[in-house]
Amino acid sequence: MARILVTGGAGYIGSNTVYLLRRHGHEVTVVDDLSRGHEHNIAGGSFHRLNLADTGGLERVLREGRFDGVIHFAAYIAVGESTQKPELYFANNVGGSISLFTAMQRAGVSKLVFSSTAAVYGTPERVPITEDFPFAPVSPYGESKVMVERILGWLDLYRGLRSVSLRYFNACGAVPGSGLGEEHDPETHLIPLVLRAIKTGKPITVFGDDYETHDGTCIRDYIHVGDLAEAHILAIEALLKGAPTDQFNCGTGRGRTVMEVIRAAEEVTGRKVPYVVGERRAGDPPVLVANSDKLRQRLGWKPQYCEISEIAATAWEFERAREPVPAA
Ligand code: UDP
């Protein structure tokens, strides 16, 4: 059993990680300012409503809880918004992280798991992507995560802060029975939008069907949120056993097109997805697929869900419970 502080524990991936950490017997405290997360997502443990800019408040929480480690999710995540409000993204994602690391240093907490992203790679020249691919972000959001990863390199060297950065590919799905699921506002992610299109009958727009892929739509590596949450637990447990600072891709290693996701949603719901084909979305790389060998080999990670239809089925279970589904 370890005592873990989770920042951003009211968000999508954070809340699932809290839920599973507690199932593994760890003691969890959540810090979240609820600016983007939801209080109903806080899956037990104690909770402090705090913004990361409050270094003193964080230091107090860290000292009082005598934490073994921190899992740091709290950040803004909308790529499009980051191009309109870059200052906000750098202040919140980079400034907030520096404030947290300062509080950790003062409180003597030296193990950290950090939410990073495949967006640090931008538009890679080839796939699958291994962790040694160069940083080449194409948005302020991606750059904010690169900056924090770089800062963590220096803090390892000069502060003894040991960290694992997990570079997420496309998190999706829901952990059955958890009551937790994807509820971004506004929602921009493919799977919840596809399922909502089924519920409302309002078509989703497929962003481009003229890419050089087998059906012309973009390829992504969809990872189930429960499998992703387990990667965090393995990472913090490894750090607590003395593992060094490192970075890992989090994906299944399998790519799926937008049309394959739509077909999978049709298969699991037994209903048609209304869609229209629109323009490409600016900044969308055609193909993003992880090589996840490092995560599997070094941390012993094994995904429970590899099929997109299985993942979509868990997301559907959450979506259909959320609001009434109109008759077919
Ligand atoms: N996508 C789409 N229509 C939408 C939302 C997403 O066609 O309304 C596509 C998007 O272009 C990308 C994939 O679905 O190829 C996954 O997008 P999402 O925003 O879920 O995640 P991202 O890959 O941008 O992190």
User: pLDDT tens string for the chain (328 positions)?
Assistant: 999 999 999 999 999 999 999 999 999 999 999 999 999 999 888 999 999 999 999 999 999 999 999 999 999 999 999 999 999 999 999 999 999 999 999 999 999 999 999 999 999 999 999 999 999 999 999 999 999 999 999 999 999 999 999 999 999 999 999 999 999 889 999 999 999 999 999 999 999 999 999 999 999 999 999 999 999 999 999 999 999 999 999 999 999 999 999 999 999 999 999 999 999 998 899 999 999 999 999 999 999 999 999 999 999 999 998 865 444 4
Cα separation of 277 and 238, whole Å?
45
Q: Where are the beta strands (DSSP E) in 212-260?
A: 219-220, 222-224, 246-250, 256-257
**The one-letter amino acid at 35:** S
Its domain, for residue 299, covers: 190-220+253-322
Pocket of ligand 1 contains residue 205 by CB under 6 Å = yes
Decide: 51 and 21 in contact? Cβ < 8 Å: no
Find the CATH number of the domain harbouring 51: 3.40.50.720
Predicted local distance difference test score (pLDDT) of residue 221: 98
| Domain identity same for 153 and 13 | yes
| Domain identity same for 304 and 236 | no
Pocket of ligand 1 contains residue 193 by CB under 6 Å = yes
Name the residue of 116, 281, 308, 311 whose CB sits within 8 Å of the most ligand 1 atoms, as the mutation to test its pocket.
281
Cα separation of 311 and 328, whole Å?
22
| Domain identity same for 232 and 207 | no
Question: What is the DSSP track for 5-26?
Answer: EEETTTSHHHHHHHHHHHHTT-
Three-state secondary-structure class, residue 195 = helix
| Domain identity same for 153 and 72 | yes
Cα separation of 284 and 131, whole Å?
20
Predicted local distance difference test score (pLDDT) of residue 327: 47
**The one-letter amino acid at 257:** T
Nearest to 43 by CA among 64, 19, 63, 27: 19
Global confidence as pTM: 0.97
Return the active site residues: 141
Predicted local distance difference test score (pLDDT) of residue 44: 83
**The one-letter amino acid at 164:** V
Predicted local distance difference test score (pLDDT) of residue 282: 87
Distance from residue 190's CA to the centre of ligand 1 (Å): 5
| Domain identity same for 144 and 289 | no
Predicted local distance difference test score (pLDDT) of residue 43: 84
